[in-house]
């Protein structure tokens, strides 16, 4: 059985525990004589201090109260002096880092979305022979305005490889699970 701490028992004895804490502590005290004895001792001590009801002689309670309030105020002011520069430093670096990163991201997005300038028809290079192109769903051979496409519409995991002679597509057919390898060569 795990015992409760003395602080928990003292708070329970003073009646300053919430509902769930009271229920948990009461259940523990039902089975633990040592903890129940400590709670009885705490209650007896509380009752004894209430019965005394007289101040120690030679203590000026008004002066002591004023000194305690002053010490609390000094402690709070010292805490603000120490915490303020740390908080200011923490706030200073964030814009210094976030703004340049944000600027780079916006500039990158803007440059990426900017279309390339159109090439005039006179400067376009027209290939003399066949052209092999890889597209998302096919390999295409084009020559003299005519095209032939090798389609792989149900493909998954398409791997394209280019060589000096043409293109090679390797993919897994989604329906059958077979691996298909297609070579398209040009001469």
* Contact between residue 13 and residue 39 where contact means Cβ atoms under 8 Å apart: yes
Strands 146-151 and 138-143: antiparallel
pLDDT, position 44 = 92
Query: Chain-wide mean pLDDT for the chain?
Result: 81
Torsion of CA 73, 78, 79, 85, to 10 degrees: 140
pLDDT, position 55 = 64
* Contact between residue 168 and residue 182 where contact means Cβ atoms under 8 Å apart: yes
Distance CA 104, CA 110 (A): 10
Asked if residue 90 has pLDDT above 60, the reply is no
Distance CA 23, CA 13 (A): 13
More confident residue, 173 or 37: 37
For 58-67, 108-117, 123-132, which range has the lowest pLDDT when averaged over its residues? 123-132
More confident residue, 1 or 6: 6
What phi and psi, each to the nearest 5 degrees, are found at residue 75? -65, -40
In this prediction the pTM is: 0.32
Distance CA 104, CA 72 (A): 49
Percent of the chain with pLDDT over 70: 91
Distance CA 183, CA 187 (A): 13
């Amino acid at each position: 059985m795990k015992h409760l701490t003395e602080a928990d028992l003292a708070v329970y004895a003073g009646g300053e525990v919430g509902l769930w804490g009271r229920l948990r502590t009461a259940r523990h005290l039902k089975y633990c004589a040592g903890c129940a004895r400590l709670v009885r001792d705490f209650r007896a001590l509380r009752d004894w201090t209430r019965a005394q009801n007289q101040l120690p002689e030679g203590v000026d309670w008004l002066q002591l109260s004023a000194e305690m309030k002053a010490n609390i105020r000094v402690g709070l002011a010292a805490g603000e002096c120490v915490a303020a520069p740390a908080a200011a430093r923490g706030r200073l670096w964030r814009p210094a880092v976030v703004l340049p990163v944000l600027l780079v991201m916006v500039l990158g997005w803007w440059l990426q979305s900017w279309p390339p300038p159109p090439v005039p028809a006179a400067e376009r290079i027209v290939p003399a022979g066949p052209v092999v192109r890889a597209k998302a769903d096919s390999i295409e051979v084009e020559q003299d305005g005519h095209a032939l496409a090798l389609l792989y519409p149900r493909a998954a995991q398409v791997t394209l490889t280019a060589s000096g002679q043409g293109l090679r597509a390797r993919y897994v057919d989604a329906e059958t699970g077979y691996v298909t390898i297609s070579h398209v060569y040009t001469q």
